[in-house]
Structure 1
Amino acid sequence: MSASTPDPPGVSNRIADGVFFNAVVMGRDIQVTLPAEIRPALTGLPRPAAVFTGREQQVDALLRSLSPDGEGGKVLVSAVAGMAGVGKTELVVQTAQRALRESGWFPGGVLFVDMFGYDPDRCLSAADALQGWLQAIGIPGEHIPASEQDRARLWRSVLDAYTSQDRRLLLVIDNARTRDQVVPLLPADPAIAVLVTSRHTLNIDARLHDLNVLDSDAAVALIREVIAQRRGADDPRLHAPDQQQTMADLAELCAGLPLALRVVAALLADRPHLQPAALADRLRDDQARLDGLSRQEIAVRAAFDLSYQHLTDDQALLYRLMPVNPGLDIATEAAAALTDLPTARVAVLLEDLHRAHLVDEPAADRWRMHDLVRLHAAGQSATSPDGTHTARHRLFTHYLHATQAASTHLVPTGPADTTRFPSRQDALRWLDAEHDNLVSACVSAPTHDLPHIATGLASALGHFLYFRRHFIDWITVATNARDIFHQLGDRHGEGATWGNLGIALQQVRRFDEAITAHTNALDIFHQLGDHHGEGQVWSNLGIALAEVRRYDEAITAHTYARDILHQLGDRHGEGQVWDSLGIALQQVRRFDEAITAHINARDILHQLGDHHGEGTAWGNLGVALTEVRRYDEAITAHTNALDIHHRLGDHHREGQAWGNLGIALRQVHRYDEAITAHTNDLEICHQLGDRHGEGRAWNNLGIALRQVHRYDEAITAHTNALDIHHRLGDHHREGQAWSNLGIALAEVRRYDEAITAHTNARDILHQLGDHHGEGQVWDSLGSALQQVGRFDEAITAHTNARDIHHRLGDRHREGQAWGALGIALGQVRRFDEARSCWEQAVDAFIETGDAESATLIRTLLDPLES
């Protein structure tokens, strides 16, 4: 780690010399301000080949496009296109290495990703690549949003940080097949250069660089230089009179394809007694086996065949079986399970294959095959009776048992299995590294007649996928498992996976589908007489119902769940349901009952040692206490929640706690502290890419800014909230943002705009059935109407607000509406009616303990009394 300038403690991440995560590498010194100190694993760019020839013109052209003083100031993207094996990756790696050595060109370094665009089993989506890059620069996986669009927004905000620090960055997107794989990864700022490689000419508005095969002289030079580099310049095969023509024959058989040339050169270098003429003869003989393929394909496949023929039995076995692994790469330990050989022996075999250029080592102790090599190896396995199914069963069983052991570290209660993973950090590190393999194994297992592996992995992966917020993967594996259980006639398993699917669907806000999933699970468990499963599903169904504002049904569902789990003695489940019930009770303004529910949840979860659940219950309790004006207690509750979530590293809930604390602080007029709290919430949500949370934080910040008369900033904040919620389709929060924007506009006397904003808010909240919010907006609309002299409309608005709050039993807001209605009536000299309204307002405020508001209203009554 290195740094050039000091940074505030706890808020900077300084990365030097390269970072690796999954399919991503970062090179050179990189410094970016981040929300927390996180240290990723370190490595470098893919190692450039020691021998590189015949590409000087192409390198020079690319360097001109990268130079900050030349074309690089105008050209954003350079795309290198050409056939498979033509050396596209090597070209851009060599170019990147040279560019990094140029002083001042790329002080931010380089990020590299292989998109595996032409391998259907390992192809990365843009969302996958964005996740890898975001994790590589230090953002934990659990904070990366699920959707590609949100990841792209977060990624561009990260790139902005590099640009603002004058840390020019180079991006390398390798082996892309489609435009959709590339465009979401591209920056908007031309200061960040991009190199893209593909076998296609992609429509990405890039400077095109078509790469062809090497000419004969360069091809022969490549073979000769590899032999000289490996065996020394005095190797007799380099000087025999007849060998020059034979080398040319080999180059011709390889069709100038660098991949084939390098394999042939490696074979000659590995075996000093292998003569080029004999190797050329074998390549010619092999052409008959590959009829119908292009000449270049013949050369590559023939070279791979020859390389394969020179492997030992154990090397060949590992080579043939490696394509069985379904993910991007494989760990040495997993390869040992695949081959049923000792781990130490497999480590040696992998090193042998690496030296033979048949596998790459993208990170320490992880191995992968080039896509063409992988296809070749899979073809060899298809013709060899190796027991591929048995090998796959061994590998997938290894993944299942390790995942089950790792997941015990993520369950809130219960003992952790420390035999396989000593700590929670070790378990998460393994799960992160094997994530792609585990999901791929889960999905592919049924097609290989391994249904129990698929269902077992789906169950074991749930806690990890939830914790890391891999919700789309969770939906995928849960759907897969549900279908398997249904086909097997396993009703209990089907019910459980319907429930898990419902929870996953809720996380991506597909609430109607979630309700259907939970209802299906409920029906199955009820039919089976599984009361525990039924209780858990009732609770999850209640949460989904509350999200679509079906609160009475949600309360009923949670009540059923609570009673069932209490009778069964499931204290942890009961504690969680108490908390969910409290949230639903708040929505129908049964705050005293809600407070009791949250206290019960907090106490139970504390006793059981579920600190995560305890922190959540503290936060929900604080919200309920705020609603009944017990502000000091609410501040204490939110502070406790904040401390717990910060200690646990749960940044999502830490942001929510900051927001809730800010709301409570506003109520006791601690506005500067509230602004700080909401700003902290906003920064956390922005860094996590939590757009819903970001919109919520903007709205709360705007309210706090209004309290200190920073109205222009408040208008900007509410406008930002409005835009975010509108784009997300969150109509409820959009309505709230319209309402708050209207209040801010009225403060700067932009009354016509305020009336429009409040009207929009009223219509949205009315359509959604949010009568509480609608009542508040009617009051705000009435106040704006008064300012432009539309008193009759204002009287109607305040009357509507009063009636709604009365029906809801919200005496405090009913008192506010009575007071505002009295003011509007006074404007049209209906003083007797105004007096009656203010008397009603005083009574309501005294009843709710708001002496300050009661005193204010009495000042309006005094002139009338005199």
Structure 2
Amino acid sequence: MAERARRFWAELATVYESAGRPTLERLVQLGEQRNPPVKIGVSTLSDWLNGRTVPDRNDRYVMALVHFLQQEAAGVGSGYARRPEGWWQQLLAAARQERNTTRGGRPATRAASPGPPPGPVTLPPDLAGFTGRAAELAEILDLLEPDGGSGGGPGDAAAAAVVVSAGMGGVGKTALAVHAAHQARVRGWFPGGILFADLRGYSNAPQVEAGAVADRFLRALGVKTKDLPGTDEKLDAWRIHLDTRAAQGRPLLVILDNVREPGQIDALLPAAPHRALVTSRHTLSSLPARRVDLSPMSPADAVDLLDRTLRAGGTDDARVIAQHDDALRLARLCGRLPLALKIIGALLRDEPDRRLADQADELRDARTRLDRLAYDGDDDEGRPLALRASLELSYQHLTEPQQRALRLLAAAPGPDVSTAAAAALLGESATHARRLLAGLARTHLLEPATAGPERWAMHDLVRLFADDLGQREAPADGREPAVSRLLHHYLTTAQDADAHLWPEQNTPASGTFADRDQALAWLDAERSNLVAAALAAPAHHPAATSLDQALAMYFTHSGHFADSIRLSSAAAAVLREAGDRRREGSALNTLGTALTHVRDFEQAVDIFTEVIGLYRDVGDRRAEAMTLGNLGGALMRLERFPEAAETFHRAGALFRETGDLYSQAQVMGNMAALLVDAGKPEHAVQTLTEVVAVFRKMGDRRSEGTALGNLGRALLELGRLDEAVTAYTDAVAACRHAGERRTEGTTLYNLGAALVVSDRPEEAAGTLTDAITVCRGTGDRHGEAMALSNLGLLRNQERRFADAADHFTTAAALFGETGDRTREGLMLNSLGGTLVATGRLADAIDVGTRELEICREIGDRRGEGIVLTNLGRALSELGRFAEAADHLTAAVAVFRELGDPGRAAEALLHAARARAARGLPD
């Protein structure tokens, strides 16, 4: 029957039509433009497109032709489902193999009598301007394809006969199914016919029974009224017709739209070679079928749909193109749901002068958004153009317990909810809660979350819908105590997880988590929800003022300092209002620590200073000492070394008063680190060695790792390289044992620097690469910059200047992002030197100009003088002598001001040379 050839001709004709039927002369030019050119005649092309011959050679041209036609089809927005080149190659090979025994590649059955006429098509009209869903459309077509449709090509084995496309109301299931069916029609896949029926599973009207659908299908297939069997026998007659058409080689495609439960359609489903495409808001899991689930559209597709809606009917509405950012905002506020986008499109078409920004502003209020997503009219299928009405149809088919669960889940703060959290919210066992969640997921009012197993998420517009209902039913649902249970679950579980993170504190941990890794995994999974819960909790609930403390160590460990700042700021405000000064101090202390980590040292000093006074007022000596230690650390980072030393001494004295040996050791370690920073490493080594021994004896690997890292710095400053490398190596091991990834990253880049100085380049490169990986993993951008700067120095030494320049450029940008302007300037200086070494003087001058701006901004006069000198010399090299002289003269003035006669004389000499070269007076 030449099935393979017919398949090839049908596909080629489809893509040709979808491309807008370009002229054959234009297609001939495709061959002429090849290298080498391929000669294809108009008559040859005509034979291929009209199903007379199969190409027997010129594969390069055929693939170029297909590529061109598919591009054109995409450009005109035909909705054609693009096929990969491999698929076309297999299709062409199969057609050739089938035609090999025929003369001239022509069908052997050319003179045979024509086959039966194509069967009936009862589809609704295809949507004009259908857009988006390219991946889902291709998947559905692959599954409908008569030769198997597993997506691997024409020769695959037959696939399941039933395809289910499921998704929430308004997501565009029917439009996609109808469009896919029309694509199958033009491909000639179903000569037996394509039949459509709306089962009205989500309508206020009674749902359509299988017998009524069978009656409609039989009539469409030509069975006269007088020949129709009785109601009970219609389904049997339908099956007989399916079998007959299968035996005739005339498969059918059946579209069963809006199916609510498998029982509606079990008796209607055909077997292969027929196909059925079913749409539903339910997953219909009990049906043996292939599944294509629909999610909201991508942002780009959503904007494109809005644009096509506004341009429908040939209008010249260009608002989406001209106001693209506002169109993106509209798409987001519509949840990227096709129904919502069509409603907004209809409203905007009524007001052609209205700005998209105004429409978006109107939707911004969550309380009224659903009411505004409505239009006076019906869609193409006769349903109301209102999102609330669409969601109501799904909601009314839920059981009462499912309806209550949906209403309460809308009150849960955060982007998703775990099964355990939902059980607390609903006041149910985990088993019963999961059953309710799974039931809602089957209706697509809830979706399995992408964050991990046993997690569930709700579309934004579904949440608005459910929350509106929940507000009305709050007393009956027990909404307030339900939310309180959820907040209590989050708080107590976070406290249990916190106890596992720091075993050296000897905080008793419950049996919620088996170990530290399990606790961290839970915190990682729930972080967004915990932050949302703390910020949403009413002031009287403990979660509002305790979650920040329960999460403080986790936030520090994982580098989520922005979250820590938000939560501790909010908790401090609540506690201040309540007059709880002691706990306010704890929240502010956490805030100051987080600010120190994000390098906002000035604000951290202000906060710690305030907290010290607060603790002194309430008589909490130990808390005052802890805060003094934190203040000393912030002052040390600001290089206010005398103040930092005095602060550490005060902290140590208070810890001695309270008998806190552990905290005394911490202060000793901080004092020793201060000595290293202040350029007195020789005084720090003995103290740090003693501190390491104390923490090792206590089993505190985290603090041991920090102290070993500071010891490594002191030894490196003293030039005791082997000892420094050993200390850093031990520090890395301690950090890894304690799970301190952030400190591990810091220690790795310091170890790498020590290895560079020790002339161990291969070890240094590997260690610094590891440091970059760890710092990126923990979000430590400043640490990443430090590692990159050290790696850049190593590559410079190896004369790998291009790599060095890349590392210095990235490091400078990261230092700038993290507010470390001093190191940013140093990296620009290193970058400029590397560029000069490679002869890129013009680029070096650009970099030097940026460095000069930084030096002046931070008040680094010595650095300013050095940069001016370097810029002057580079400008002289380029023959820009007048500019060179100006820069060098400025450098002379800076060095004289600083009392540096040597550098002033050097700059003066270069200035004189520049003036002489330019013929300027000295």
Q: Is the CA contact 1:458–1:481 (under 8 Å) kept in the aligned structure 2?
A: yes
Letter in 2 for 1:366: R
Report the 3-state secondary structure (helix = DSSP H, G, I; strand = E; otherwise coil) of the residue aligned with 1:367: strand
CA–CA separation in structure 2 for the residues paired with 1:347 and 1:771: 66
Determine which of 707, 728, 732 is the counterpart of 1:617.
707
Verify: 1:376 aligned to 2:465, yes or no. Answer: yes
1:635 aligns with 2:610: no
The verdict on how the C-alpha distance between 1:269 and 1:572 changes in structure 2, with shifts beyond 3 A counting, is farther
Which residue of structure 2 aligns with residue 238 of structure 1? Answer: 213
Cα distance change of structure 1 residues 214 and 372 upon mapping to structure 2, 3 Å threshold? farther
Which amino acid is the alignment partner of residue 462 of structure 2?
V
Which sections of structure 1, spanning at least 5 residues, go unmatched?
A: 1-55, 71-85, 105-173, 176-196, 200-209, 246-260, 273-288, 807-816, 828-866
Question: Within 2, Cα distance between the matches of 1:291 and 1:692?
Answer: 46
2:581 to 491, 496, 504: 491
Q: Structure 1: how far apart are the matches of 2:844 and 2:391? A: 72
Quick one: distance in 2 between partners of 1:673 and 1:682?
14
Say whether 1:393 aligns with 2:484.
yes
1:332 paired residue among 392, 403, 419: 419
Matches within 5 A, 1:420-569: 420-446=512-538, 450-569=540-659
- State the 1:438 CA deviation: 1.4
Deviations 1:70-123 (A, max 9, x none): 9xxxxxxxxxxxxxxx9999886555677896569xxxxxxxxxxxxxxxxxxx
- Distance in 2, matches of 1:334 and 1:693, equals 36
Taking the TM superposition and a 5 Å limit, the aligned residue runs for 1:420-819 are 420-446=512-538, 450-685=540-775, 690-710=780-800, 713-726=803-816, 728-741=818-831, 744=834, 768=858
Aligned amino acid, residue 485 of structure 2: R
TM-score normalised by L of structure 2 = 0.55
- Say which of 173, 178, 198 aligns to 1:223: 198
Q: Deviations over 1:151-177 (max 9, x none)?
A: xxxxxxxxxxxxxxxxxxxxxxx99xx
Verify the 8 A CA contact 1:775 1:804 in the aligned structure 2: no
Partner amino acid for 2:435? V
Counterparts of 1:298-309 in structure 2, within 5 Å, are 301-302=388-389, 304-305=391-392, 308-309=395-396
Tell me how far apart the structure 2 counterparts of residues 601 and 99 of structure 1 sit (CA, whole Å): 68
Deviates more, 1:375-384 or 1:495-504: 375-384
* Residue pair 2:831, 2:847 contacting (<8 A) in 1 also: yes
Rate the CA distance shift 1:95–1:399 in 2: closer, same or farther, 3 A. farther
Q: CA deviation at 1:265?
A: 3.7
Read off the aligned partner of 1:317 and give its amino acid letter: R
The alignment partner of 2:684 has SS state of helix
Q: Which amino acid letter does the alignment assign opposite residue 423 of structure 2?
A: A
C-alpha separation in 1, matches of 2:850 and 2:690: 40
1:393 positional shift:
0.9
User: Partner letter of residue 420 of structure 1?
Assistant: T
**Taking structure 1 as reference, are residues 607 and 93 closer, same or farther at Cα in structure 2, changes over 3 Å only?**
farther
Cα separation, 1, equivalents of 2:388 and 2:527? 31
Moved more, 419-428 or 342-351: 342-351
> Alignment partner for residue 509 of structure 2, among 409, 417, 426?
417
* Equivalent residues of 2:137, 2:176 under 8 A apart: no
After superposition, give the CA deviation of every residue in 1:430-453 in whole Å (9 maximum; x if it has no partner): 22222222111111112xx54422
**1 CA distance for matches of 2:434 and 2:549?**
31
How much identity, in percent, do the aligned residues show? 31
Q: Alpha carbons of 1:490 and 1:233: their partners in 2 closer, same or farther (altered >3 Å)?
A: closer
Structure 2 vs 1, CA of residues 718 and 235 (structure 1 numbering), >3 Å: closer, same or farther? Answer: closer
Structure 2: distance between partners of 1:262 and 1:493 = 60
Distance 2:412 2:827 in 1: 50
The structural deviation recorded for 1:572 is: 3.4
Aligned partner of 1:351 among 419, 428, 438: 438
- Bigger drift between 740-749 and 601-610 goes to 740-749
Q: Whole-Å Cα distance in 2 between the matches of residues 737 and 291 of structure 1?
A: 54
Shift of 1:389: 0.7
**Alpha-carbon distance in 2 for matches of 1:739, 1:303:** 63
Task: State the alpha-carbon separation in 1 of the partners of residues 651 and 746 from structure 2.
Answer: 26
Could you tell me how far apart the structure 1 residues matched to 2:614 and 2:721 are? Answer: 45
Secondary structure of the 1:325 match is coil
Alignment deviations for residues 823-866 of structure 1 (CA, whole Å, 9 cap, x no partner)? 99999xxxxxxxxxxxxxxxxxxxxxxxxxxxxxxxxxxxxxxx
Residue 602 of structure 1 deviates from its aligned partner by 2.1
Partner of 1:38: none
User: What do the CA deviations read for 1:653-702 (whole angstroms, capped 9, x no partner)?
Assistant: 33332322233234343344334433443454456664423332232223
Once structures 1 and 2 are overlaid, which stretch shifts more, 351-360 or 217-226? 217-226
Structure 2, gaps ≥5 residues long? 1-72, 88-128, 144-149, 154-166, 183-193, 221-255, 268-369, 378-382, 879-883, 911-922
The answer to whether 1:366 aligns with 2:341 is: no
Aligned partners of 1:637 and 1:622: how far apart in 2?
A: 5
The one-letter code matched in structure 2 to 1:401 is: T
What SS does the corresponding residue of 2:456 show, helix, strand or coil?
A: strand
For residue 512 of structure 2, what is the amino acid of its counterpart? R
Q: Deviations over 1:608-642 (max 9, x none)?
A: 22212211211111111111222221111111112
Q: Specify whether residues 786 and 613 from structure 1 end up closer, same or farther in structure 2 by C-alpha distance, changes over 3 A only.
A: farther
CA contact under 8 A between 1:582 and 1:597: conserved in structure 2? Answer: yes
Contact 2:557 2:742 in 1 (8 A): no
| Conserved? CA contact 1:503–1:514, under 8 Å | yes
In 2: Cα distance, 1:709 partner to 1:355 partner: 62
Letter of the 2:483 partner, please give it: R
1:722–1:737: 8 Å Cα contact kept in structure 2? Answer: yes
Structure 1, 758-767 or 308-317: larger mean CA deviation: 758-767
Distance verdict in 2 for CA 1:692–1:707, change over 3 Å: same
Q: Residue in 2 aligned with 1:79? A: none
Residue 107 of structure 1 aligns with which residue? none
C-alpha distance 220-457 of structure 1, shift in aligned 2 (>3 A)? farther
Larger Rg: 2
- 8 Å contact 1:778–1:800 — kept in the other structure? no
What's the CA shift for 1:395? 1.4
What code does the residue aligned with 1:494 have?
E
Conservation of the 8 A alpha-carbon contact between 1:778 and 1:798 = no
Matches of 2:139 and 2:818 in 1, distance apart?
39
Deviation at 1:58, TM superposition (A): 13
Q: Secondary structure at the match of 2:448?
A: strand
Q: 2:416 is aligned with what amino acid?
A: D
Q: Give the partner amino acid of 2:519.
A: A
Tell me, what secondary structure is at the counterpart of 2:665? helix
